[in-house]
Amino acid sequence: MKIRDKNRRAYGAMDKEFLEFARAYLLEGFPNRDREGCPPESALRSLAFNPRESDATVTEHLAACSPCFKRYSELLAELKAQQEAQKSGWPRAYAWSQAHPMLAVTALVCALFLAIGVGFLLRGIRQPNVPRETHKERRPLESKVPPVAYIPFSLDLSALSRERGGEAEPSQPRRIAVPSSALDLTVTLPLGTQEGPYDLKLSTRGRIVWSNSALAYLQKGTTLIRVEVDFSQVSEGDYDLEVQSPGGSRLVQPLSIQAPLSDGGELMP
């Protein structure tokens, strides 16, 4: 029995020294002279008087701010004194705390560590550890339109005679069959045709169904115009392709827009 009592006294002395060290460390180890991030007085009072409804971040702050820890300890002492004064069964305990202030402080430190542990537990319950997701702006799904494949196609207008002032030549050129597809069209102009901008249009009975502008250029002594055209939406039938220069001269080539060959090939002029 004597050995057990001796061990109890030794453990009690060790606990007392640890609690005194912890309290002294929290009171002085984090001075925070500028009071950065300190919660208001109401938050400390709420943690002391109603810890279940207080913000868990206040409890975390106490472990890193000595001024707030000191004020929180004072509030706990005030709460304890009020509770002891209000309950009829606690007058002796209140008198005991006044007679033994060191033990009372030790109890307060234990209560503080308990409150901090409860605070961490409540925070873990309120805010479960869910992996963070990177919030990215979701763009609406856009329908991807496949790129148009332009098929090379050539028109030789080198034998045509230029018209001026709307007067047509007596001879009419033969009509050329053109597939109703997207074409990478190369037009060969008559010998001696100047380079520069030209207007192209496809019409039928005075109604224009397609038009565009392109530059004529020389290649090995031949004047060419290269332009992308999409005749896939043009109805099958007879049309006139007009190529007009800024000076007013024009070339008119009759065309016959026809469906592509069934085997995947294209009509050739």
The range of the structural domain enclosing residue 205 comes to 151-163+170-258
Say if residue 18 is in the same domain as residue 122.
yes
pLDDT at 102 over 50: yes
Most confident region among 93-107, 132-146, 243-257 by mean pLDDT: 243-257
Residues 116, 14 within the same domain: yes
pLDDT above 50 for 116: yes
Domain co-membership, 197 together with 244: yes
Residue 156 and residue 47 in one domain: no
CATH of the domain at 191: 2.60.40.10
Residues 158 and 87 in one domain: no
| 200 pLDDT more than 80 | yes
205 pLDDT above the threshold of 60 = yes
Looking at per-residue confidence, does 38 or 18 come out higher?
38
Q: Is the dihedral of CA 4, 7, 8, 9 positive or negative?
A: positive
Token digits of residue 208: 């224009």
Predicted confidence (pLDDT) at residue 264 exceeds the cutoff of 50: no
- The answer on pLDDT for 128 being more than 90 is no
* Per-residue confidence (pLDDT) for residue 211, from 0 to 100: 93
What is the pTM (predicted TM-score) of this model? 0.44
Least confident of 158-162, 198-202, 204-208, 264-268: 264-268
pLDDT greater than 80 at residue 103 = no
Nearest to 181 by CA among 228, 240, 243, 238: 228
Does 35 share its domain with 70? yes
- pLDDT score, position 45: 86
Which pLDDT value is given to residue 244? 92
Q: Is residue 78 part of a domain?
A: yes
Q: Are residues 78 and 155 in the same domain?
A: no
Q: Between the ranges 28-32, 137-141, 225-229, where is the mean pLDDT highest? A: 225-229
The verdict on residue 266 lying in a domain is no
Residue at 245 is within a domain:
yes
Q: What's residue 143's pLDDT?
A: 63
Q: Report whether pLDDT(12) > 70.
A: no
Pair (9, 106) in one structural domain: yes
Distances, alpha carbon 128 to alpha carbons 115, 122, 125, in Å = 20, 10, 6
pLDDT in tens, 134-175: 555 666 666 666 787 899 999 999 888 776 655 555 567 899
Same domain, 80 and 177: no
On whether residue 132 sits in a domain, the answer given is no
Residues 116 and 15 reside in one and the same domain: yes
Where in the chain does DSSP place strands (E)? 151-156, 176-179, 182-188, 196-204, 207-219, 222-230, 237-244, 250-258
Q: Among 27-36, 118-127, 243-252, 259-268, whose mean pLDDT is lowest?
A: 259-268
According to DSSP, the β-strands at 151-156 and 222-230 are unpaired
